[in-house]
Amino acid sequence: MNEIKIFCPATIANISCGFDVLGLCLEATGDEMIIRKSEVKGIRITKIIGADLPLETSKNVAGVAGLALLEAVNYEFGFDIEIYKNIKAGSGIGSSAASAAGAVFGINELIGKPFTRKELVHFAMKGEALASGSEHADNVAPAILGGITLVRSNTPLDIIKIESPSELYATVIHPQIELKTSEMRAVLQPMVPLKSAIIQWGNLGGLIAGLYTSDYDLIGRALHDEIVEPLRGPFIPQFDVIKKTALENGALGSGISGSGPSIFALSKGIETANKVANAMKAVYDKTDLPYEIHVSKINSEGIKII
């Protein structure tokens, strides 16, 4: 195999109570990439369609992630990468993660799969470090592994794929304003009240238990962010209204996707997820704000060859 075409899914990081540790893979939206073996060593980004991103390998997340993998295998060939972006940069649904994950997944396939999917996460994180300044796995882990993932620890990297119930659907609305991940990190407080932290980990425990037992009510009760959402919500247009609307229309819970500005809701069943989508749209339709919206099953497979 000298060439591979892959689907690189969008992802929702944090999932309310799981700040910096949880992520969820979407099925309905993502990028495509074509990766080709080349006689010339190294990695070249030969084409980017759909986004204004740097072609220079060392400045491109796919390039950096791919190089990290190649350094680990001492491979004699090189790779040309074409990226077809559908996930907008800065949308909060893992745009950089999709590219980083795609590069390492595709190259790994082309060199005979020396690494497991879990092992690939480590390399993809090097791309995330370029994009946001920190090596985080909360988007690349679900993009690569699919489903809902828990990053128990970053050092050493310990990722657990969490069971998720079959009728869980996500609705994600992306108001097209620019929020930089780095700026959204800056609004966080370095110290948090122990009381709030206890509420947060109580909810995280409840969410994990709800996912394993398909207890949708429990999932709903646990989808609450005590710490980060109050700080970041005000930066997102009509966040409170969108969230309230989602809940009123039957969503189990709603919150900020990643560092925003996208807002997600989780629902039981596609009918509710669609109803939530329509209600969310109605809120932004009253404004001039352009938006994109997606309704998606949880993508249990993750990144894949197409």
Of 11, 149, 181, 272, the catalytic one is: 181
Q: Which residues pair with 6 in a beta bridge?
A: 33, 305
CB 35 within 8 A of CB 78: no
Residue 218 Cβ vs a second copy, minimum distance, rounded to whole Å: 7
In 3D, which of 185, 149, 7, 3 has the Cα closest to residue 87? 7
Assess 181 for contact with a second copy (CB under 8 A): no
Of 11, 27, 29, 128, the catalytic one is: 128
In 3D, which of 145, 263, 266, 277 has the Cα closest to residue 210? 266
Residues of this chain, 161-180, that bind a second copy according to CB under 8 A: 162-163
Assess 203 for contact with a second copy (CB under 8 A): yes
Q: Which residues pair with 9 in a beta bridge?
A: 30
Assess 87 for contact with a second copy (CB under 8 A): no
CA–CA dist 76, 18 (Å, integer): 41
Residues of this chain, 2-41, that bind a second copy according to CB under 8 A: 17-22
- If the CB atoms of residues 59 and 152 are measured against a second copy, the closer one turns out to be 152
Assess 187 for contact with a second copy (CB under 8 A): no
Total residue length of the chain: 306
Secondary structure of residue 212 in the 3-state scheme: helix
CA–CA dist 205, 200 (Å, integer): 9
Residue 76 appears among annotated catalytic residues: no
CB 258 within 8 A of CB 12: yes
Residues of this chain, 276-295, that bind a second copy according to CB under 8 A: none
Residue 271 Cβ vs a second copy, minimum distance, rounded to whole Å: 27
Choose the stretch contacting a second copy; rule: CB under 8 A; options: 71-79, 97-105, 208-216, 261-269.
Answer: 208-216
Residue 18 Cβ vs a second copy, minimum distance, rounded to whole Å: 7
Residues of this chain, 144-163, that bind a second copy according to CB under 8 A: 150-153, 158, 160, 162-163
CA–CA dist 139, 170 (Å, integer): 15
Residue 181 appears among annotated catalytic residues: yes
- If the CB atoms of residues 19 and 79 are measured against a second copy, the closer one turns out to be 19
CB 92 within 8 A of CB 261: yes
- If the CB atoms of residues 143 and 219 are measured against a second copy, the closer one turns out to be 219
> What DSSP designation does 190 have?
S
Assess 209 for contact with a second copy (CB under 8 A): yes
Read off the tokens for 56: 């220079």
Residue 111 Cβ vs a second copy, minimum distance, rounded to whole Å: 30
Q: What angle do CA 121, 122, 128 make, to 5 degrees?
A: 80
Contact positions vs a second copy (CB under 8 A): 17-22, 150-153, 158, 160, 162-163, 188-195, 197-206, 208-209, 212-213, 218, 221-222, 227
Residues tagged active-site: 128, 181
